[in-house]
Amino acid sequence: MDFRFTDEQRLWSDTLHTFMEREVGREYTRKHDESREFPEEAYRKFADRGWLGLLIPEEYGGLEADPVMYAIFCEAIATYSLDFAAAVMTSMFTATNIANHGTAEQRERYLGGFLRGDIKFSVSITEPGAGSDAAGLRTSAVADGDHFVLNGNKVFCSGAHVPGTVITVLARTGPDRHKGLSLILVPNNAPGVDIRKLNTIVRRSLGTTEIFLTDVRVPRENLLGEVGGGWTYIGEHLEYERLALAASYVGNARTALDDTVTYTSGRTQFGRPLSSFQVLKHRMAENECEIEAARLLVYSAATKMARGERAVKEVSMAKVFAADVAFKTSFNGMQALGGYAQLPEYDMERYFREAKHAMVGGGTSEIQRGIIAKEMGL
């Protein structure tokens, strides 16, 4: 098999890495991590170039790129931070729900503003009593004339507080465990919506939140797709989300390893570079193998999706393996940099924090292994 990028894919990758170096950079990324501010200026640059529309069909104003081109995008924009990448990717894969299942009016109302960077999207699934058991959620959406009335408590909803955000809420509209779930579009400034940003060790610039919904009334036309179709739609959504996350883990792990190589090559102890010590260079060699293996899993899954095939197992394999690789690589980087790894200006502590979150966010590693086992018939 030929694992090389096509000329178009290589040009796309080079363009994105150049953009990240010149238009975003380490200092900007670090600043927004430390200040816990959304990277609005950089986000607008993505919108200005039309890149937010990668997954949106051309008929709605998007670029309609295939999943391989999207994986290349996610790998590149995570160069300096998984959180920065999430600040861009979250709206992108959530917008596919409207492109794929929205009404003509919903597409008209939301997609144009999204492509311009004026509207952002967040998806809210998790609740205090329903984490990995997402179908056990209790937030309700009760039909009342021409409206739905929502009540409940959501948590770990990333980016829900950012101005101009529409939250795609998975809520219970019926008693059936799965068929009783629907997706409702809720503007984050709607009366009765109380959003509180959480002081987590990651998701610092994108931000993650707890949401309290108290008699929130939204028009029935804010229903996305069919009543009871929410679980199916979220399954499609998660395939793109997990591909995006896995690709971003690979991109950030590559930077973590490159930073480790640079530091150990320039740091001298006991009269020779740290990179000459077997224990360190063997760790870096092992990380090199693992990153390349994770990358192949990512593009194998993306290629299958690009053929229009179901890739539930493949994206879970890519996510769980790439998360482990990102964590091991940044852990080894922390060891190699020693005391300097604790300082924000060396970036490694950010890679390490964010890689640990990779084992939980978007579906825990344990849940991914359960999905893989199910797909194996176990």
- Contact criterion met (CB below 8 Å) for 177 and 135: yes
Instruction: Provide the pLDDT for residue 2.
Output: 81
How many angstroms from the chain centroid is the CA of residue 238? Answer: 10
pTM of the model: 0.97
- The residue ranges of every structural domain in the chain are 7-119, 121-228, 231-375
Residues 137, 181 contacting (CB under 8 angstroms): yes
Confidence of residue 3 (pLDDT cuts 50, 70, 90): confident
The CATH class given to the 121-228 domain equals: mainly beta
Query: Rounded to an integer, what distance in angstroms lies between the CA atom of residue 297 and that of residue 167?
Result: 31
- Biggest alpha carbon distance in the chain? 79
Task: Judge: domain 7-119, CATH 1.20.1260.120.
Answer: no
Q: What percent of the chain has pLDDT over 90?
A: 99
* pLDDT of 98 strictly over 80: yes
Over 90: is that where the pLDDT of 41 sits? yes
Read off the DSSP letter of residue 275: G
Superfamily of domain 231-375: Butyryl-CoA Dehydrogenase, subunit A, domain 3 (1.20.140.10)
Examine the pLDDT at 377 and tell me if it is beyond 80.
Answer: yes
In the predicted structure, residue 314 carries a pLDDT above the cut 80: yes
Residue 236's closest CA among 66, 97, 130?
97
In angstroms, rounded to a whole number, what is the distance separating the alpha carbons of residues 320 and 318? 6
pLDDT at 1: 76
Cα separation of 338 and 281, whole Å?
15
pLDDT score at 169 = 98
Report how far apart, in Å, the C-alpha atoms of 92 and of each of 73, 280, 377 are. Answer: 11, 39, 32
- pLDDT attached to residue 112: 97
Alpha-carbon 310 to chain mean position: 20
Same fold, 121-228 and 231-375: no
- H or E element: which one contains 193? strand 193-197
pLDDT digits (tens, 9 = 90+) for 156-205: 999 999 999 999 999 999 999 999 999 999 999 999 999 999 999 999 99
